[in-house]
Amino acid sequence: MKPAANIKTTGQLALPPWRSRLLFVLLMGGLAGLLVRGIYLQAIHDDFLQQKGDARYGRVIDINAHRGMITDRHGEPLAISTPVESVWASPPDVDATSQQVRDLARLLGMSMQEVKERLFDTSRDFVYLRRQLPPEQAGKVERLGIAGVSLKREYRRYYPGGEVTSHLLGFTSVDDNGQEGIELAMQSQLGGKAGSQRVIKDRRGHIVEDVASLRAPKEGSDIALSLDNKIQFLAFREIKKTVEEHQAKSGSIVVLDAKTGELLALANWPSYNPNNREKPAPNVMRNHAVTDLFEPGSTMKPFTIATALDLGKIKPDTEINTEHGVYTVGGRKIHDTHPEAYLTVAQVIQKSSNVGASKIALSMKPEQFWHGLHEAGFGAPTGSEFPGEAPGRLRDYNTWRPIEQATMSYGNGISVNLLQLARAYTVFANDGELKPITLLKQDAPVVGTKVFSANTAQEVREMLELVVRPGGTAPEAQINGYRVAGKTGTAHKLDGGHYVNHYVASFVGLAPASNPRLIVAVMVNDPSGAEYYGGQVAAPAFSNVMGAALRQLNVPNDAPLNNVMQPNPDELIKEDT
């Protein structure tokens, strides 16, 4: 039999020549297609590959803005931001040995379990391990060389004054945003705006190339406060001493520039250290001088008398029948601690007569009396814009009963905060003009609001000088070399709508009385020692702070250096409560 024509005699299958040529054409076509696709993806339409590359190695990172510095009026730093490092991880990129995890946990002060939970939680692309580490500690973390663990530059706020300035300045969060005080009130100026940058990172999470700056950070602005750091320290030291000496619950002090309304000092005790990130009790963090209200007691009497003087109802030498210390209004009795048959208007201030103040208040129409108090700033914000400021309470005169109008004359039935009370006394320092409160340093004169006539303000100031002399309620407020004008206050505290035998002792004063430069207001909450009157508790603190501050500012003396007169024991007068 003859072999088939398409089979070689050697036993090998003979393929048609066209098949090899077809295979070659197909291979070349596929190669050409891949080449065209590669050119298309990499040169013409490269978005897809770019997105995939960015997803694996590209990142957009935030660039923190440096927070502005806070200084006092003389440029002394009160709040500054220092660079720190935060440790973060990208869990999908983490590659760490057990020993590296143990070392990382030790350096960060964390448990192994907590570190593992954060490092290997692949459902998240970004997680902080520890915020705001000192550079040397962060450097040790970096030297571990753990893939997927990186450092981020941030800033931490530092307060050189610590607890001395804490209630005024407040503090910032771990993200460097203001949380309390000036830091919160002026966040927009201090905080600036963070920037952003696109970078390429290697498989270990390290930045290998800066691709582009998307938005440059805008640094925060520095702020110069009206605060005087030296006077602030004096005020803080004195209020702390006063609270501890009289075993009080708390105390506050405010120092104002009488001419400009600038806040030179504000302090409270108890206080806290804002450099310690462990939050203290909320009550300790409260700025009691601004957020807490109290009944001002007899410190209101000058405003009662000033309103009546301005209306022509009385004169400084007008005699008031003080009813031997007992006066009945609407079935309720008003008492004087030191009964007198008659007192002049000036003596009503000097001896702090509740009966005298009540009769003067009732000589006015409710609307007239209300208007005088309202124009002096009571029941309204001070304008400081301090976070959480309480505006106080001055009820509508249409709701007053005669007994309420009477008791309001000596500070019952009205509530104020200490900053508000201190501001009100600017009317007696500036010939009847009420100054706005400012927390920022002022370089130009500040225009106020006219409340009383210049003559009325001067007459009341002269009456207030009698308060600190023998025969007045606050001889302990006297200062060597300076004339002082001021008023004591001692008010029962309210508990469940009833007055109880717990007190708020206060004193507000001006000096030098001939041309007032400073106003100091002191409030002591619930002194529990043997002494609780404003003249005993608050007046000495006023004297110590005012005297030191006047000397610090080189204010000229307006009295002889031996002007302090000590009263005889039988001349001591305690204001009525």
Q: In this predicted model, what pLDDT tens digit does every residue of 34-91 receive, in sequence order?
A: 887 777 767 676 666 566 555 555 566 566 678 999 999 999 999 999 888 888 888 8
| Angle (CA) 450 453 455, round 5° | 145
Q: Does residue 18 have a pLDDT over 90?
A: no
Measure the CA–CA gap between 479 and 551, rounded to whole angstroms. 11
Residue 200 has pLDDT above 80, yes or no: no
Structure tokens at 434: 């009420």
Pick the range with the lowest mean pLDDT from 11-15, 306-310, 334-338, 407-411: 11-15
Alpha-carbon distance of 271 to 202, in angstroms, equals: 48
Q: How far apart are CA 203 and CA 56, in angstroms?
A: 9
In sequence order, the 6+-apart residues with CB closer than 8 A to the CB of 388 are 286, 287, 290, 291
Give CATH 3.90.1310.10 domain extents, the chain. 74-91+126-224
Q: Is the four-CA dihedral 335, 339, 340, 343 of positive or negative sign?
A: negative
**Marked catalytic residue, from 86, 252, 298, 353:** 298
Strands of 41-190 (E only): list them: 58-63, 70-71, 77-89, 127-133, 149-158
Say if domain 229-571 classifies as CATH 3.40.710.10.
yes
User: In the structure encoding, which two tokens stand for residue 88, read together?
Assistant: 């973060």
- For residue 139, the one-letter residue type is G
121, pLDDT greater than 50: yes
Is residue 392 pLDDT above 80, yes or no?
Answer: yes
Q: Say if residue 561's pLDDT is above 80.
A: yes
Q: What's the CA gap between 314 and 320, in Å, rounded?
A: 9
Q: Read off the pLDDT of residues 134-180 as tens digits, 9 standing for 90 and up.
A: 888 888 888 888 888 888 888 889 999 999 999 999 999 888 889 99
For residue 270, say if its preceding peptide bond is cis, omega within 30 degrees of 0. yes
Buried b (16+ CB within 10 A) or exposed e, 415-454: bbbbbbbbbbbbbbbbebbbbbbbbebeeeebebeebbee
Q: DSSP alpha helices (H): ranges in 312-387?
A: 345-350, 354-362, 366-375
What band does 5 get if pLDDT is binned at 50, 70 and 90? very low
For the cut 80, the answer to whether the pLDDT of residue 203 exceeds it is no
Closest CA to 511 of 575, 555, 454, 471: 555
414: left (phi over 0), alpha (psi -120 to 50) or beta: beta
Give mean pLDDT, residues 503-525.
Answer: 97
Across the range 7-14, mean pLDDT stands at: 55
Quick one: what percent of the chain has pLDDT higher than 70? 88
The verdict on whether 298 is a catalytic residue reads yes
Report, as an integer, the average pLDDT of 199-211. Answer: 52
All CATH 3.40.710.10 domain ranges of the chain, comma separated, are 229-571
Is the CATH number of domain 74-91+126-224 3.40.50.1580? no
67 to each of 75, 135, 500, how far by Cα in Å?
A: 16, 19, 48
- At residue 576, the pLDDT reads 58
Look at residue 50 in the predicted model and tell me its pLDDT. Answer: 63
Determine which of 3-7, 237-241, 244-248, 323-327 has the lowest per-residue pLDDT on average. Answer: 3-7
Q: CA-CA distance, 291 to 394, in Å (whole number)?
A: 16
